[in-house]
Structures are given as C-alpha cells and as structure tokens.
Amino acid sequence: MDMRDRVSAALKDAMRAKEADRLSTLRLINAAIKDKDIAARGTGDDEGGVSNEGILAILGRMVKQRQESARAYEEGGRLELAEKELSEIKIIEEFLPKQLSEDEAAAAVDTAISEVGAESIRDMGKVMAALKAKYTGRMDFGKAGPMVKDRLG
C-alpha cells in the first residue's frame, strides 16, 4: 500500500470514529501532498503525482516544523499549544518509517562515506545525496550533516 492510500484510509477511519484532532492532522497531510502535486504539475513532472519518497520528505518537514513550533510555544509558556503540536507529531510519525537511532545513523554515515569514496569536505554533497537516497524519512539530515562534516573535516 503506498503512502497516499495509507493516508486516505486513515482519514476515512478518523471520520468514521469522529476523532476530530486526528482528522484535522490527516487533512493537513493530505493538503500538503496535494499542494506538492499541484506544484509538480506546474513544472511538468507530474507523472502520477508525488512519489512515496516525496511524501516521506513532506512528512519529515511537517514533523520538523511542529517540533520547532512546540519548542517556541514551550519557551513562550503556551503549553496547551505545544501539546497540540506534539500530538500532531505523533500522528504524522505513524506514517514515517522507524527513525534510525544515534548509533545506526553514525553507521549509515560511515557506510555512505566509504560507498562514495569521500575523502575531504568537498565530497560532503555526494555523501549527503547517498544518505538522502537511502534514508529519506528515517534520518534527521540536520544532525547527519554535522556528523559527515566531523568525519570528513
């Protein structure tokens, strides 16, 4: 079952169960996917819409945005809004593959460096591209970048 079907099925289930919070989050996911479809149509690469990898990237960005918002709300003392953001993250993460642990991410970085034959910081782009090809949705690339830089620097 591809990602679109999973989101649609979950949306229908949430409607039937009258889960308002879950339903609103799933609608946000659906809207983000449709926005990306429309943007792709404008550039001419709309072969069936956004791929599963594209959807994983969208979901990853949505989680990251909500983490930043939750952090900002907590700092501002708006705990009820932070809780709402965190509950949305849980719903979005249901559709993401299991995240790599710190050790697994480090091993993935080491493997990618050896696979592309990276020797200096100039090869960082190649390593990051290899990681993104394999681990989209499973790895926080904001943390992977510094790891790669440390190993190549």
> What CATH number corresponds to the domain at position 66?
1.10.1510.10
pLDDT band for 145, please (50, 70, 90 cuts). Answer: confident
Same domain, 108 and 82: no
User: Residues in the chain, how many?
Assistant: 153
153: CB partners within 8 A, 6+ apart: 121
pLDDT digits (tens, 9 = 90+) for 53-87: 888 889 988 998 999 999 999 999 999 999 999 99
Same domain, 79 and 29: yes
Place of tokens 């965190």: 86
Instruction: Give the model's pLDDT for residue 62.
Output: 93
- H or E, element range at 19: none
- For residue 69, what are its two tokens? 């918002």
Contact 149, 125 (CB under 8 A): no
Same domain, 110 and 70: no
- For the chain, the domain total comes to 2
* Phi and psi at residue 45, to the nearest 5°: -105, 55
pLDDT band for 10, please (50, 70, 90 cuts). Answer: very high
Domain hosting residue 49, numbered range: 3-93
Same domain, 114 and 137: yes
Same domain, 70 and 109: no
Instruction: Give the model's pLDDT for residue 137.
Output: 72
Same domain, 27 and 86: yes
> What average pLDDT score do residues 109-115 get?
90
Cα separation, 87 vs 24, whole angstroms: 11
